């Protein structure tokens, strides 16, 4: 695949999303979904190494150059899945593949499980199902989320004196990334504000979810999949310790060296993941 990338904007009616477009026009249609608080540059090292794919790498709503949801709205998995489906509809893609990392992998599983006839391939990078909870925690979780929403009104985003300060903050984030990864994410994520720079992402993305489904509900999406599926497990990532979950998954798994952002942290990791994806799509 050529390293050429095209910047596009997709007006879905209810929201406008930004995206990167890679690959030949007649390639296998694929939508790529990044992780929480990342953006389309999550695939900047990976996508140019893929073969035979027409990839639309989205900035998910509230991330990167995409619009934020309206006041009073939230960021549920169902809303993200609806956005992705609208993108496919706008592109005229009746069937399409999904490549998802972390949150993007979770969204991919939910959409492919909900509408199994629409998804042709499912490639997941260190993510499968959302955090789950028992029904006994439902009321407490909603209360916690409501309090957090009220507190958010009085909070201001962190302003960094320089781009370098913002990059270093991302390197030390909840999920640490390499400097190269942080710099790539900052290209679409940092914006100038009075006094310096701030991350573009919607502050509501940091709010706790008011509702969590049970593990049985989450696995129902997995068991409804019809398409070929492959999970890339990062050897030093977030899934490797969840052996009970991994043993339940009815599809191919490949463990590769690296952390949660193994496809972005360095060129070597991106190449390993790209080789896996090319083989999975039949272009090795």
Other CB atoms within a 10 A radius of the CB of residue 262 amount to: 26
Candidates 171, 193, 276, 199; CA nearest to 234 is: 276
Tell me the two tokens of residue 83.
């956005």
Q: Which residue has the tokens 């009815």?
A: 250
Task: Characterize the bridge pairing of strands 16-22 and 5-11.
Answer: antiparallel
Residues β-bridged to residue 248: none
Three-state secondary-structure class, residue 49: helix
Query: Among candidates 84, 131, 108, which has minimal Cα distance to 227?
Result: 108
Which tokens go with 157? 């985003």
Beta strands in the chain (DSSP E): 5-11, 16-22, 28-33, 53-58, 96-101, 119-125, 190-193, 196-199, 229-236, 252-259
Q: At what angle do helices 103-114 and 77-91 cross, to 10 degrees?
A: 70
Report the DSSP beta bridge partners of residue 94: none
Two structure tokens written together for 38: 């990342």
96 pairs with which residues across the strands?
A: 119
**Which is catalytic among the residues 42, 102, 120, 201?**
102
102 is catalytic: yes
Interatomic CA distance for residues 232 and 196, integer angstroms: 38
Catalogue the active-site residues: 102
């Amino acid at each position: 695949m050529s390293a050429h990338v095209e910047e596009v904007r997709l007006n879905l009616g209810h929201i406008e999303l930004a995206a990167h477009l890679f690959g030949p026009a007649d390639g296998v249609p694929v939508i790529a979904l990044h992780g929480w608080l990342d953006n389309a540059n999550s695939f900047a090292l990976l996508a140019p190494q893929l073969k035979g794919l027409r990839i639309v790498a989205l900035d998910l709503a509230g991330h990167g150059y995409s619009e934020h949801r309206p006041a009073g709205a939230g960021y549920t998995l169902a809303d993200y899945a609806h956005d992705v489906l609208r993108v496919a509809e706008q592109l005229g893609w009746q069937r399409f593949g999904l490549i998802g990392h972390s949150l993007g992998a979770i969204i991919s599983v939910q959409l492919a499980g909900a509408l199994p006839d629409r998804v042709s391939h499912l490639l997941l990078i260190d993510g499968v199902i959302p955090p789950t909870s028992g029904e006994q925690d439902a009321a407490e979780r909603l209360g916690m989320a409501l309090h957090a929403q009220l507190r958010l009104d009085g909070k201001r985003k962190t302003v960094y004196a320089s781009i370098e300060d913002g990059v270093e903050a991302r390197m030390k984030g909840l999920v640490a990334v390499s400097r190269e990864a942080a710099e790539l994410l900052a290209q679409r994520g940092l914006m100038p504000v009075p006094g310096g720079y701030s991350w573009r992402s919607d502050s509501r993305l940091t709010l706790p979810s008011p509702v969590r489904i049970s593990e049985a509900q989450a696995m129902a999406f997995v068991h409804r999949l019809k398409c070929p599926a492959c999970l890339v497990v990062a050897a030093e990532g977030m899934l490797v310790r969840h052996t009970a979950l991994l043993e339940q998954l009815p599809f191919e798994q490949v463990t590769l060296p690296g952390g949660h952002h193994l496809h972005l942290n360095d060129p070597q990791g991106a190449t390993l993941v790209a080789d896996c994806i090319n083989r999975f799509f039949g272009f090795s």
